[in-house]
Structure formats: structure tokens, C-alpha cells
Structure 1
Amino acid sequence: MAPTDFRPVYHPAGPDHALRVASQDLRTGRWLSMRDLLRSTRDWALWTQRTQVLAAVAAGSDTVQAWLAEEPRSAAARVMHARVTVERAVRAHRGGRPGAQQLWHEAWEGCRAAAHASPDDPVPWICLLALSQLDEGQRLDEHRMLPPGPMLFPGPWGLLAEADKRDPFNREAYHRMLQFVYARQSGGTLPEAVNFVQWAASSAPEGSPLHVLPLYVRVERYRRENGNEKALDLHWVTEDGERDARRALAVWFARADPAARSLLDLNHLAHALWGSLRFADAAPVFRAMGPYYTSAPWSHRTRTPQDPAGAEDVFLRARGRCLAAEHEPGRAPHG
């Protein structure tokens, strides 16, 4: 296939073929593939990712409830039920829909039940972290605990600690904490987010996806600047922007198990390297994606972020530029 003929594929499961099959079955109301997939998932990081994707698919149906009714002793079914109730509560809150408060309460109860049914599982605690962003005024005690270090904010640190205890440096747990920062009424500032991701990355081991977190905060800054493309370009070519991209490349991409890399993280890293003009460095990141991509963060380079076609066009232009840079004689890696 010629480079100009390449068209990326968007799918929440990415290259996880078994997850794609289970997701498709779930859309038709069948849960056996989901159950069998989760039974075969032994790694907490993969378990977290798969349950998150499945919950997003299942939130619009009663399929998980049917599984739980059929197998009430299944810890996996109980965890998926918690996932689904949290997904519904978050969606209702974002949409300002009636009944959002009741859904929040039901989700909280579901998380506690899942934590009891599966005490070694980080996902129920990650679900509680996801719910914490709904408490924008930090009314609940568990959402305003003292932070573990200076320059950090009061928040659901106990919930993060419980997730960390079960799966240290769990990717989704720290992303949920970052979402909590953005949702806070009393502060929720970008400097707080910067302090958090720097704190998280500073203690994470090599190969950890937490080293990509600073790139997400940079994209959030651009989003808040209403898609100002000039501002977007200038942010990436600063010394700090280039440093964050290079560090994620060296400490995460080069050290992580290729099978464990998040597709969303790969897209953020490729975007950051392209934006900081490190075209040749970005090329292997684009290749690592295979045929898949995510619309974020590319959509923030467009005038209409809700239009997937615009995001795909930016992605293709960036990919073409970076893959071409590998074959340009006499060029430095940073283009």
C-alpha cells in the first residue's frame, strides 16, 4: 500500500483482537465472550484497560446486569457492574441529566460491593476515583484528604493509594486523578495539574505510562486556549515542551513492553514529537501504532474538534511528514 493510500482505523480496542470480538458480542447483547476474555486476563494493567473499554460499550444496555443475574457469585461480573454504573453516572453528570445524583449513589454502592467481592482488584478503587470528579465541591471526606507531598492539593489520595497498593502506578488511576484536578471548583488549575503529573512521573519506574502524563496536561492547556493553533505550535517548540516529549520517548516508549503500550499514549507522544519538530524521532512511534489511531489529541489541531475527519487529516499529515524524515539524508533526528 502506498503511503498516500494509508487510512487509519479508529477502534477503542486498538490492536487487542480478543477485546474487539468481545466488544462486538457485547453490542449484540451477548456476554459469554466478555466473561471468557476476563477469565483469561491475568495482568492488572490489561484487566484495567479491558474492563474500561467493555464498560463503555455495555453502558447503554442491561447485558452486564444479565450476566450478574446469571452468575451472582462472579467477582468479574460484580466488577463489570461497578464499571457500567460508574460510566452511566459520569455520562449523566456531564450531560446535566435528571437522576445523575441517584446514579452517582448507585455507582458508589456498586464500587464498594465490587471491592468486597474482589479485594485484590484495583478497578473498584479506580472506579471510585472516577466518581470523585463528580464531587466538584469536594464535599465528601474521602475527596479532600491531605496530599502526600508539597505543592499538591487536597483530594482522593486514599483512593489512589488503594489502587496503587493493588497495581502500583496504574495508568488509569493516575489519569482519573488528573481528571479530578480539572473538575475541582476550588482551584482546578493547570499549575496544580502540572505539579501532580511531575510528582507522579518523578516516582514512576522506567517504562511506566505515567511518564506520558505531562503531554496530556500540555494538550489540556491548548484545549483551554480554544484551539489557538499558533499557541499550540509555540508550546511544543519551547524547551520544556521538547523536554517532556524527549523524556516520554526515552523513559516510556523505549523501555515499555510494546504489547502494553496504550494507543492513546502513543498518539500523544507522536503528536508531541511532531509538534516539537522531532520528526524522525516520531516515526517509530507512528509505526508502533500499526493501522490504528485515536482522534485525540489531533482534533485539537482543527477548527472543529468534534469532526473526526479533521483529526484524521491532521494525523495523516503528521504521520507522512515524520515517516518521510527517516529517509532524508543528512538530517538530524529532530528534523
Structure 2
Amino acid sequence: MARDGARPAYDPAGPDTELRAALQEVRTGRWMSMRTLLEDTATWWQWTQRTQVLAAAAAGTDVVRAWLAEDPHSVPAAVMQARVAVERALRARREEHRRTHELWIEAWDVSDAATRAAPHDPVPWVCLLALAQLDRRQLWEEHRVPPPEPMLPAGPWGLLAEADKRDPHNREAHHRVLQFLYAQAGSERLAEASGFAHWVADTAPPGSALHVLPLYVRVERYRRGGGQLAALDLHWVAEDAVREAEQACVNWFERSTPVERTPLDLNHLAHALWGALRFEDAARVFDALGPYYTPLPWAHRTADPGDRSQAVEVFLQARARSRSAAHDPDS
């Protein structure tokens, strides 16, 4: 564990050394290690995570196309084709590229095909959920399905149900619904996102990463407020903020195994506990992170969210403060 003051590293693979090796191969245009890694992936939560990270690296290459050319009947390759197509469509929207709509339809087609090629796999349905955020006016019928709970808005609930059927409480599927809610017009969507996150957390089993979901909404609310929501960062020490941080710590961190925790979730929890002045618990989460960090949510606490060096400095300050206070509660 990184108990000293060493600067943390951002690594999309985190502590997954096998994924890191496959990523290095993908970035050089080779796919054999990716195929082997996916063939050896035994759980849906790890499959979902690994395919997402690999797609982010493969989206700027032709590596999946080369894999399919060599093995056109490979089911993992078909799933990765959907992952890459979705990643490209989402990037095009962020960059306001003129081919966004074309890439969106292409991604939908290959994701829909992947649901049939891999009928027991939640990832093709996660891909369709990810694309739902591009339909900002909810013109597609599948994006305005009546909600499972009266307090929730119409949305892509059928897609979520399909993912959930294959992998109950799939982490990414629920995060994709949050992104869909964020993307819709109107400020009321943030309140709906908060309601959704709390409903999901309240129904998630012990140890599920979905207990961290409300912390993401709180960061988004802070981001939309331009970091000016309250003097002295009272946004993070409000009663409900403290409760969300403590519940995520107890229901997720203390009841999950290290291998099941993503660096992104750990960073959000460490950030929330630090902000809530729960330094002893925050120190334990920082220790669990070891040498890894993610730019978010720390970047939102800086003057320039695009400057990763500033995000690292906030992370280091938070880690040092938490460890110091945990060692000496009177400090």
C-alpha cells in the first residue's frame, strides 16, 4: 500500500495486471492477448469492466476488425465490436463531430446484433443503454418506457431490465442510466437522477458497488454548480452527504473484496469521506487504493478541471489530511 507521500498513477487497468498486459498489446495493434484475456474472464462483473476498458483503447485502432477478419464467428469479438462502436459514437458526440448520427446508428446495429450473438451476455445491453444518452429528446420508443417505480421518469428501463436479467445489479448498466438522465433537457433530471441512485442503492445487496451510486450524483450536482454551491464546501458536510458517504463505506467497502473494487469507485468514496470529515474511514480507502488514482472526482475540486496535475494535488492533500487525522484524531 502507498502509505507514504508517493504521487499516485492513473492507470485504466488499476491493479488488474492481466488487463494491463492486454491493453499494451491492443495499443500496438495486436489482439491475441485480448482474446486470451476475455476467454479466461470468469465473472460478468469482470467481463463488463474489462471489455469497457479494452474498448476505450481499441476505439482508435482497427484491432477488433482484424480479430473479426481472422475469426469472424468469435462471440467475444462480436461483443468487442459493439463496445468499440459505442465508444466511437460517444466520443463523436462529445466532440460534436458531423458523423455522430451515422456512428450512433452503426453502433446501435452492431450492439443489437451482439444481443443475439451473445444472448446470455449483459454487455450488449449495456452498450444499448450507453447509446440511450444520445437520444436527448427521447424520440426512440425504447428510451421512454414506463418506469419500474412511480418516482422515476420514463426511460430505457427495458434495456436495464435485460442487462439486469443477465447480471443482476450490473454496475455499468446503472451508471449508463445515470448518464441518460443527465443528458436529458431540464434541471429536474438531476433530482430524478438522485432519486434513481438512492432507489438503486437501497435495493442493492451488501457488497454491491451500486451503494456508491449516490456519491456520483452528488459530484455531478457540485459540478453543475460550478463548485460554488456553498461556502467552505458545506455541500460535502451536509447531513445527507455524510449519510451517503457512511452508507457507501459500510454497505460496499466493508463488505466487498479488494478484487471487486474499481479505482473509480474507491476514489469517489475516498473523496466523499474526506469531504464529510470522516478522515479515519477515508484513510482506509486511500490505503486500499494503493498507488492508483482517477482524475475524477478530484478534478471538480480544482480551478481547472482539465488540468490533471491539479487533480493529483487535491488527491494528495486529501490523502495526507485523512491519514494525519486518522493517526492523530486531535490534529
What interval of TM-score do these two structures reach, taking the shorter chain for normalisation?
Answer: over 0.9
Q: Secondary structure at the match of 2:255?
A: coil
Query: Equivalents in 1 of 2:166, 2:303: separation in Å?
Result: 42
Aligned residue in 1 for 2:94: 94
Bigger relative contact order (CA 8 A; separation at least 6): 2
Aligned residue in 1 for 2:202: 202
Aligned residue in 1 for 2:152: 152
Aligned residue in 2 for 1:270: 270
Map residues 216-231 of structure 1 onto 2, 5 A cutoff: 216-228=216-228, 230-231=230-231
Which sections of structure 1, spanning at least 5 residues, go unmatched? Answer: none
Aligned residue in 1 for 2:308: 308
Aligned residue in 1 for 2:115: 115
Could you say if the C-alpha distance between residues 188 and 94 of structure 1 is closer, same or farther in structure 2, counting changes exceeding 3 Å?
A: farther
Q: 1:30 aligned to 2:30?
A: yes
Could you say if the C-alpha distance between residues 4 and 44 of structure 1 is closer, same or farther in structure 2, counting changes exceeding 3 Å?
A: closer
* 2:137 counterpart letter in structure 1: G
RMSD: 1.6
Aligned residue in 2 for 1:254: 254
Could you say if the C-alpha distance between residues 229 and 153 of structure 1 is closer, same or farther in structure 2, counting changes exceeding 3 Å?
A: closer
Aligned residue in 1 for 2:289: 289
Could you say if the C-alpha distance between residues 125 and 232 of structure 1 is closer, same or farther in structure 2, counting changes exceeding 3 Å?
A: farther
The Cα shift of 1:101 comes to 0.8
Query: Equivalents in 1 of 2:255, 2:2: separation in Å?
Result: 31
Could you say if the C-alpha distance between residues 255 and 2 of structure 1 is closer, same or farther in structure 2, counting changes exceeding 3 Å?
A: closer
Structure 1, residues 289-320: CA drift from partner, whole Å, max 9, x if none?
11000010011110000000000000001101
- Count the aligned residue pairs: 331
Could you say if the C-alpha distance between residues 232 and 19 of structure 1 is closer, same or farther in structure 2, counting changes exceeding 3 Å?
A: farther
Aligned residue in 2 for 1:9: 9
- The answer to whether the Cα contact below 8 Å between 1:3 and 1:320 also exists between their aligned partners in 2 is no
- The answer to whether the Cα contact below 8 Å between 1:147 and 1:154 also exists between their aligned partners in 2 is yes
TM-score normalised per structure 2: 0.97
- The answer to whether the Cα contact below 8 Å between 2:41 and 2:47 also exists between their aligned partners in 1 is yes
Q: 1:166 aligned to 2:140?
A: no
- The answer to whether the Cα contact below 8 Å between 1:138 and 1:144 also exists between their aligned partners in 2 is yes
- The answer to whether the Cα contact below 8 Å between 2:229 and 2:235 also exists between their aligned partners in 1 is no
Map residues 118-137 of structure 1 onto 2, 5 A cutoff: 118-137=118-137
Q: Secondary structure at the match of 2:11?
A: coil
Query: Equivalents in 1 of 2:34, 2:89: separation in Å?
Result: 22
Query: Equivalents in 2 of 1:150, 1:207: separation in Å?
Result: 27
Query: Equivalents in 2 of 1:167, 1:222: separation in Å?
Result: 31
Q: Secondary structure at the match of 2:191?
A: helix
Per mean C-alpha deviation after superposition, the further-off stretch among 125-134 and 253-262 is: 253-262
Aligned residue in 2 for 1:317: 317
The Cα shift of 1:11 comes to 0.6
Structure 1, residues 150-190: CA drift from partner, whole Å, max 9, x if none?
11000000000000000000000000000000011256621
Q: Secondary structure at the match of 1:189?
A: helix
TM-score normalised per structure 1: 0.96
Q: Secondary structure at the match of 2:280?
A: helix
Q: Secondary structure at the match of 1:145?
A: coil
Structure 1, residues 119-159: CA drift from partner, whole Å, max 9, x if none?
00000000000000000010010000000011100000000
The Cα shift of 1:227 comes to 2.3
Q: Percent identity?
A: 61
Which sections of structure 2, spanning at least 5 residues, go unmatched? Answer: none
Query: Equivalents in 2 of 1:201, 1:277: separation in Å?
Result: 22
Map residues 60-79 of structure 1 onto 2, 5 A cutoff: 60-79=60-79
Structure 1, residues 83-117: CA drift from partner, whole Å, max 9, x if none?
00000011111211111111111101100111111
* 2:171 counterpart letter in structure 1: R
The Cα shift of 1:326 comes to 2.4
